[in-house]
Structure formats: structure tokens, C-alpha cells
Structure 1
Amino acid sequence: MTDVFWTEERIAKAEKLWSEGLSARAIADIVGSKKNTVINMAFRHRDRFPARQGPRRRGPYTPTKPTHYPDRVTRITTSGASVTMPRVPTIDGPAPIILQIATGEEIQ
């Protein structure tokens, strides 16, 4: 049988170093292991190694205005699917002219 690397003494030492704020790499150098070994051990003993950063939070959702492509046309196929296709001037007429002024407002 192989020896177990993480004995209770090493775990206690790593826990003390973790609470002092040392990085996983620094703890690995002191204990004599690799960084990922320390991270995995801390994950297995989550009750003794509290998370150092809070959960990720998204910012508030702001819906964006759909992009308008004057050279594209949405058509409904015979099967009922909605597809976007290139504008054909002989069928759809000329593309509308959209001017943008410095404020970013659209004028048609």
C-alpha cells in the first residue's frame, strides 16, 4: 500500500497557512507538493478551507435593440420558418436610407 501524502498534520499546517492568506503555490512550496494538489485537498476539505472569493454575480440585464440590417429581409417560407435573406432590389425595392447623426439617433 502507498503512503498517504496528506496526513492530518500536513492538512492542519496547510489550513493554518491558508487562513494566513498564502497562495496555493506558496503552500505547495512549504508543504512539498504541487499547486493543484493543494487546491484539490482544499476542495475535499471545504469545511476547513473557506472560499476566498465570493460567487460571481452578473450585472443587471439590459435588453439591447435588435440590429437592423438594411440589406437583409426576413421572409416566411412555405413550411412557416422565418429566414433572413439578402435583399433583392427587383423584388423588395430599394433599401431604405438610414442617416445617423452624431448623437447616435436614427433618422429614416
Structure 2
Amino acid sequence: MVTVEVDSARVESRLAAGELRCPSCVGGVLAGWGYARSRRVVGTAGSVRPRRSRCRTCAVTHVLLPVTLLLRRAYAAEVIWEALAAKAAGVGHRGIAAKLGVPA
């Protein structure tokens, strides 16, 4: 997974211009390679379908994940942050879940 900015148009232009580098090899450039599967993320409007890319040098594929999402999490970063802040304030897990509208 490669973390990219939220603006998908900017990500597309960076892919087309060859500005995204491969984290798996030295000097590789990422190019567009379709999309990852669509998934529901709590805290976002609708489902999310991240862009995929493939290195032109080593042929490894990567999912381009917006910075507002966290790797392998079903909740947006903002929702996770709110839960952590509430826990630090002494709120229990049931109270946090009720406040955020998620299962305890």
C-alpha cells in the first residue's frame, strides 16, 4: 500500500506524469493499473474504491490509499481519532460506540 493525497484527480495526474515512485525497488515509477475492490469505510460517504498502480521496473502492484484512510481498517482515520480521544478522556467502550454510532 502506498499512501497518497485525498484528491483523486491529483493522484491521477501524478501517475500519468510518472511522479509516484515505487516503494519496492530503487528508481521504479508507478503507473495506473485499475482499481482495488470496493469497500465500505465508516466515516466516509458511500463506498471507497482505491486506485491500483504497477511499477514499470519491478512489476509489483500497489494500492494507492488516501491519507484519510488507514491500512486494513474499516473506519476512517477521523473516526478512529475521535474514539481514541474519547478513551483518553475516560469514556468507556460502550459510550464511545454509542457516540460514534458503531458497534461496541
Q: Same fold (TM over 0.5)?
A: no
Higher strand fraction (1 or 2): 2
Between structure 1 and structure 2, the one with the greater Rg is 1
**TM norm structure 2:** 0.19
Q: Which has the higher contact order (CA 8 A, sep 6+)?
A: 2
